[in-house]
Amino acid sequence: MIKRGFFGVMCIGALLGGTSSAHAVPITQNTDPHTTGLGISTACGDGLSTSQSSYYRVFDLYGLGIPASGIRSVQFGVDALFNGPLVLRVRFYTLASTLEVANLVPIGEPAFVMVPSQQGTLVTVPLDPNVSFDTQDPIVVEIFVPNGQATGTAFYIGSNAAGQSAPGYVRAPDCVGMEEITDLAALGNTNMHIVMTLDVGACGDGTVETAAGEVCDDHNTVSGDGCDANCKPTGCGNGVKTGAELCDDGNTVSGDGCDANCKPTGCGNGVLTNGEACDDGNTVSGDGCDANCKPTGCGNGVKAGAEACDDGNTVSGDGCDANCTVTGCGNGIVTGGELCDDGNTVGGDGCDGNCFNPACGNGFVGVGEACDDGNDVSGDGCDVNCTATACGNGVLTADEVCEDGNTVDGDGCDSNCTSSFCGNGIQTAAEECDDGNTTDGDGCDSNCKLPACGNAIVNEGETCDDGNKSDGDGCDSDCSVTACGNGIVTLGEECDDGNDVDGDGCDTTCTSTACGNGTRTEGEACDDGNDVDGDGCDTNCTATGCGNGVETEGEACDDGNTTDGDGCSATCQLESNGEGGGGAAGAGGGTAVEGGCNCSVAGASDTRTSVGLFGALFAALLVPFRRRRRAPSGP
């Protein structure tokens, strides 16, 4: 980089006129924009000529209250131009980022100006048309100097050491360290302040700068009087917020933050913008267009009217179902583990209150069910037929032997759910009792009859029990074994007095006490149990023998004694004439007749005869009413 003249240090001046006025405004960053020093500036070159260079200033016109206008002219200083002329170019840009060539956005057309050789001058470049701008970004002005080495031309930008409010910049592609736009102060040229002034038309100067975008200019910058401070007619979209406007971004485009009705972009401002299905100018829901600018309806995200919820979709099972009711049984939407949903929790109407189809085991107590625990397990309190676990419900469970669905006894399965049988604890038709066991003698015997003779159970005090009250069948009606002496007269017995004592009226053979019953009792010498004489024991129960009163074989008589002379001798032979060995005495006594009969007349008595008759009578009395027969004689 070469330095001219006194090779002074580069400086940049301060802003002249920091605010806009109601007329054309010169905009500069120099404290002294009218003086160009000599020999202050430097340039990239070989000492005789300069190479391509660009000089820049960056103006924040929006920050000065000039968001839109037109640049009418640019004035810059010339320290010196040798071996001219040289055609310079003035270019304009906006800058949205850091100051680099790549970030410069051109606006307007470049202005060309032919500069002859001169020193210490100011050059004004009129712009026709004006360079219009409407931006919040800074405006960059470039003075482009072409390479003069081919013609030996040297150009030095005008500058002075007075103050400046912003830096000046240079770019010289052929000089090391200056290939990119660089602050002059950073290169050591702290007093080289490029002299540059912009002539910018201003709203309110009374001149309508159409090139600057002015539509009107009423000599003031008052808004709301018909021509606003930006020289556009008062109204929404002119960039000036007036009256009832909540915003004004200078256009009538909606959805850019400030809508066409000058209200901030948003639901409820009355302007339909991106993402909105409707906008009725309010945030009231349920009026057709809800507070989220979606038509009133389930699934628009706004809970309105009869909706219990609205999550902005028509998906069910996510907490708010497609009918805008809270996900759950009875809301009319089948979700999750539901098998049905009829919009209520009433059971027995086709879909039960737990949203399962009506059925035992679905967990809901429906019509005809006493319980429903939601499973098909029995014995857990609610059985598989939805009746409470109990005997008689028709479901066979743990402690039951049978289950016929009723509590009727005697039908095969009794009311305690045991098979109908004696000993199950249930007294049925044929049973007199049932104490739940088959133990005898405990008040109800094992055949379910009350303890008693004849119930077929041998209890205490019984020697047998054949289940009837018949005697003589082996077990008599008093439950003693059929036998003589058990007190029951049975077949073959004449009597039975229940003891084995003879002579008490009924002997141990169960025959009435009497001669010939086979039992020898008091007064009997023998008793062979028959009415045969001469067999050793005669029918008067005396031993067969003479004098026992029974005439047996070999005896002609037997008067019950062995006294002679009584008509029947001691050897049981008939006596004659009162003496043994004679003929029989007459019945009435009397004188013996011929042939040995000692007969007597009537009324006469014979002592021996009388004694003999008495003996015979006594013997007969011993066997009253008995028929006598002799023992058969031998051959």
- Which tokens sit at 263? 């209200």
Tokens of 126: 């009129």
Higher pLDDT, 619 or 339: 339
Give the per-residue pLDDT at 603.
41
Higher-confidence residue of 453 and 598: namely 453
Q: Find the angle CA(154)-CA(160)-CA(165) to the nearest 5 degrees.
A: 125
Distance CA 548, CA 555 (A): 11
Residue 355 Rama label (left phi>0; alpha psi -120 to 50; beta): left
Measured between alpha carbons, how far is 294 from 286 in angstroms, rounded to an integer? 10
CA gap 271, 134 in Å, rounded: 26
Tokens (6 digits) for 437: 């066991």
Span of 114-123, 173-182, 196-205 with lowest mean pLDDT: 196-205
User: What CA–CA distance (Å, rounded) separates 306 from 602?
Assistant: 152
Q: Count CB neighbours of 606 within 10 A.
A: 21
| Residue (of 23, 137, 120, 107) closest to 80 by Cα position | 120
Could you report the per-residue pLDDT of 35-88, keeping only the tens digit for each?
999 999 999 999 899 999 999 999 999 998 888 778 989 999 999 999 999 999
Torsion of CA 366, 371, 377, 380, to 10 degrees: 170
Q: Which residue has the tokens 């050491």?
A: 161
Q: Say if pTM beats, i.e. exceeds, 0.75.
A: no
Mean pLDDT over each residue of the chain, to the nearest integer: 85
Domain ranges of the chain: 2-200, 390-451, 530-635
Q: What is the distance between the alpha carbons of residues 233 and 228, in angstroms, rounded to a whole number? A: 6
603: CB partners within 8 A, 6+ apart = none
CA atoms within 13 A on the CB side of 177: 8
- pLDDT band per the 50, 70, 90 thresholds, residue 261: very high
Q: Does domain 2-200 fall into CATH 2.60.120?
A: yes
Give residue 607's pLDDT.
42
Give pLDDT, residue 119.
Answer: 97
Contact at 8 Å (CB) between 404 and 391? no
Collect all residues with Cβ–Cβ distance below 8 Å to 571 and sequence separation of at least 6: 546, 580
Query: What average pLDDT score do residues 565-588 get?
Result: 68
Q: Which amino acid is at 3?
A: K
Q: What's the CA gap between 607 and 609, in Å, rounded?
A: 5
Per the rule left: phi > 0, alpha: psi between -120 and 50, beta: everything else, 83 is left
Q: Which amino acid is at 27?
A: I
20 pLDDT exceeds 50? no
Q: Is 608 helix (H, G, I), strand (E, B) or coil?
A: helix
Alpha carbons 149 and 54: distance in angstroms, whole number:
15
Minimal CA–CA distance to 88: which of 113, 71, 69?
113
CA dist 427 and 443 (Å) reads: 14
User: Sorting pLDDT into bands at 50, 70 and 90, what band is 461?
Assistant: confident
What confidence tens digit (pLDDT) does each residue in 531-544 have? Answer: 899 999 999 999 99
List own/partner pairs for 114-118 with CB under 8 A and 24 or more apart. Answer: 114/85, 114/86, 114/87, 114/88, 115/78, 115/81, 115/84, 115/85, 115/86, 115/87, 115/88, 115/155, 116/81, 116/84, 116/85, 117/81, 117/82, 117/83, 117/84, 117/85, 118/78, 118/80, 118/81, 118/84
Residue 105 belongs to what H/E stretch? strand 104-106
Say which residues have a Cβ less than 8 Å from residue 488's Cβ, sequence separation at least 6.
471, 472, 476, 477, 478, 480, 482, 496
Taking the CA atoms of residue 481, residue 486, residue 488 and residue 489 in that order, the dihedral angle to the nearest 10 degrees is 100
Q: How confident is the model at residue 591 (pLDDT cuts 50, 70, 90)?
A: very low
Is pLDDT of 588 > 60? Answer: no
Asked if pLDDT for residue 190 goes beyond 60, the answer is yes
Which tokens go with 295? Answer: 């038509």
Beta bridge partners of 28: 16, 197
| Predicted pLDDT of residue 353 | 87
Give the pLDDT band of residue 441 (cuts 50, 70, 90).
Answer: confident
Higher local confidence (pLDDT), 21 or 73: 73
Contact indicator for 252, 261 with CB cutoff of 8 Å: no
Return the number of other C-beta atoms located less than 10 Å from residue 344's C-beta: 13
| C-alpha closest to that of 15 among 123, 163, 138 | 163
Distance CA 526, CA 548 (A): 12
* Cα–Cα distance for residue pair 628/620, rounded to 1 Å: 10
Distance, in Å, from the CA atom of 361 to the CA atom of 372, rounded to the nearest integer, reads 6
Determine contact, residues 421/413, Cβ cutoff 8 Å. Answer: no
Indicate if the pLDDT at residue 633 is higher than 70: no
